[in-house]
Amino acid sequence: MTEGETWRRVAPEGRRFLRGRKGTAGRLAAWSLLESVHTFLGGYGVARALDDGFLAGHVAVGLAWLAAAGAGALLGGFALRGVFAELAELVEPLRDGLVRRAVRQALDRAVGDPARAPDTGSVSRLTQQTEMARDSFAGLVLTARSFVFTAVGAFAGMAALAPVLLLIVVPPLLLGAVAFIATLRPMASVQRRSLDTDEALSDRVGAVAEGLRDIVACGGQTAAEAGVEPLITAQERLARRLAHWSALRTLALGAAGRLPVVALLFATPWLLARGITAGTLAGALTYLVQALLPALNTLMAALGTAGTRLLVVLERFCDPLPVPVPASAPAPTDVDTGSAPPSAEYGAGTAPPRELGYTAPRDTAVSASAAELRGVTFAYGPGAAPVLDSLDLVVHPGEHLAVVGPSGIGKSTLTALLAGMLPPGAGTVLVAGEPARRGPGAGGPDPRRTLLPQQAYVFTGTVRENLTHLAGSPDGRPPGDAEVRVAVARLGLDVLVDRLGGLDGEVSPRLLSRGESQHLALAAAYLSPAPLLLLDEATCHLDPGTEARAERVLADRPGTLVVVAHRISSAVRADRVLVLDGTRAVCGTHAELPSRSPLYRDLVGMWGRAAEV
């Protein structure tokens, strides 16, 4: 996309934003106009102090004009205080609006095409780019209005002293400005490509981090590195190009900042010969050195960095352009594609009424299995060894299944497949008789399952919000406080919730231990209406007693529980255990597996010896 196209996309959004804040913009202009009085008095006072005061032998008059210039400085400081107050009223709504838009875009992307990989680039927009936009916009508004109203005061002062001064000063200023403007378009292009590469790198690193253990276990480090290294190299190259254009911009700044002074000094004999006084020349020099040129340099620096960066960043928050649909494209049909109907929140069934403490899942009679893998094979990359190879597995409704095996053997990959986050390389993954990975148009997060990873998701908000964010129901009714308190009591969270200030207390994730974060996340999972609950080592930071209590409570919850076991004691509590050993998968009860799986026998033996110690 060219810079012109970028501007055409961003400009209407900017105009709408400013039209809604005319009052704030007007007050900002009024304070800035008051500030320009300081600029006018600065040069004019110096000129009059010399011509009418000190050079004429009237010291008192000279001191009076200098005092007037000093009073103008105090007036400018007072006006600047009002400028910053109005600037905050203009800048903070922009950041808030961008945050809301970034969240909406990420949700729209997920709802519109759940089968796509998670939009990790949205993290960059939500955090780094919103702050870049706020800081860039604030700096640009501050410097632009400063230059405009400083120029008003300086040009008015020079016109009042001797209009011919404008003919000498303005042309060099314009020459430097034109040279500077010529660098803006290439800098914007480099800045845009740098942000594109940053988002692509964030996407790639997120994908690698998601399966890092399995990548290492399968020897796929080289392939993973090959996907990341070119993006890092591209970022380095773009940074060098940006530095190159910044150097050229510095030359343009030097021309704009020095040529007017040189021109004025060069024309001094000619001006003196035509009756221009020494005081007038000193006043003009004061306008240039103390006001106009510093304001111009600041503006050009802001345009070269903050301006181009703001334009490129705001482009990422614009709604995507509509994709033209060919006239010959077939109309959508109602043919079943294997994905859940978008109008059915819970697929083929309807969720029964919520009981105290938990919303029961949909009628599991629709499918003979809660989840099923049929000949599933999965590998990270075409040349990597399969993490799962032709795996068949049936998880029955209401069953508690534990998954055990060495680190990196594919346990997390299995839960990601069941959650629909990864597509199988071969075979079929079903949840409640339907594909686990839903196609475009399925609508919203998948209500059939809830996945809790090892890194618990806890966010800044109230305790109630952290416990109920997974507990949406088909009718949109959130769980009541009585239901939430049942979950808190059953999972033994009373002490932690009381310490945080009750259900209305604020949660600060950085002040919680990893175990406390996992404990809160488990309560959120308990309140989830999803009939399939997947725990991927989601209790690894809990002590054994708390872990045992949490697993029993979640197993008693209506629905099906699949646990990637952190301790072998989790397997003892399960109805069945799936052992992944890299060569074959064995599934059975805890009592029968030692005779069928040497790996499980070793794991149980090591656990027994550790328990004895």
User: What's the pLDDT score for residue 361?
Assistant: 38
Quick one: average pLDDT of 361-373?
61
Q: How big is the CA angle at 311 (ends 307 and 314), to the nearest 5 degrees? A: 130
User: What's the pLDDT score for residue 606?
Assistant: 64
pLDDT, one tens digit per residue, over 377-386 is 888 877 778 8
Whole-number Å distance between alpha carbons of 593 and 589: 6
Neighbours of 167 (CB within 10 A): 11
Whole-number Å distance between alpha carbons of 248 and 38: 33
Quick one: average pLDDT of 92-100?
73
**Tokens read off for 501:** 């200030």
- From 24-28, 128-132, 182-186, 241-245, the region with the lowest mean pLDDT: 128-132
Beta-carbon contacts of 451 under 8 Å, excluding residues fewer than 6 positions away, are: 415, 416, 419, 421, 534, 536
Question: Strand pairing partners for 371?
Answer: 395, 431
Instruction: Kindly report whether the global pTM for this prediction surpasses the value 0.85.
Output: no
Write out the residue limits of the CATH 1.20.1560.10 domain(s) in the chain.
3-317
Neighbours of 223 (CB within 10 A): 16
User: What's the pLDDT score for residue 402?
Assistant: 93
- From 255-259, 516-520, 558-562, the region with the lowest mean pLDDT: 255-259
User: What's the pLDDT score for residue 496?
Assistant: 92
Q: Is the pLDDT of residue 432 over 70?
A: yes
Quick one: average pLDDT of 115-123?
49
**Tokens read off for 397:** 């409704």
CA distances to 149, 452, 503, 520 from 496, in Å? 57, 20, 11, 9
Quick one: average pLDDT of 29-46?
84
Whole-number Å distance between alpha carbons of 65 and 45: 5
One-letter amino acid for residue 449 of the chain? R
User: What's the pLDDT score for residue 64?
Assistant: 92
User: What's the pLDDT score for residue 303?
Assistant: 65
DSSP 21: T
**CATH number of the domain at 3-317, please?**
1.20.1560.10
Given the DSSP bridges, would you call strands 506-507 and 461-462 parallel, antiparallel or unpaired? antiparallel
**CATH number of the domain at 399-407+448-612, please?**
3.40.50.300
pLDDT band at 113 (very low <50, low <70, confident <90, very high): very low
In this structure, are residues 258 and 252 in contact, taking their beta carbons and an 8 Å threshold?
Answer: no
pLDDT, one tens digit per residue, over 493-525 is 999 999 999 999 998 888 889 899 999 999 999
**CA torsion through residues 94, 99, 102, 107, sign:** negative
Write out the residue limits of the CATH 3.40.50.300 domain(s) in the chain.
399-407+448-612
pLDDT band at 553 (very low <50, low <70, confident <90, very high): very high
User: What's the pLDDT score for residue 309?
Assistant: 61
Find tokens 């060569």 and name the residue.
Answer: 583
Q: 115 or 314: which carries more pLDDT confidence?
A: 314
- From 41-55, 193-207, 388-402, 535-549, the region with the lowest mean pLDDT: 193-207
Q: Where are the alpha helices (DSSP H) in 219-366?
A: 221-266, 268-273, 278-286, 293-302, 308-317
Whole-number Å distance between alpha carbons of 161 and 159: 5
User: What's the pLDDT score for residue 399?
Assistant: 93
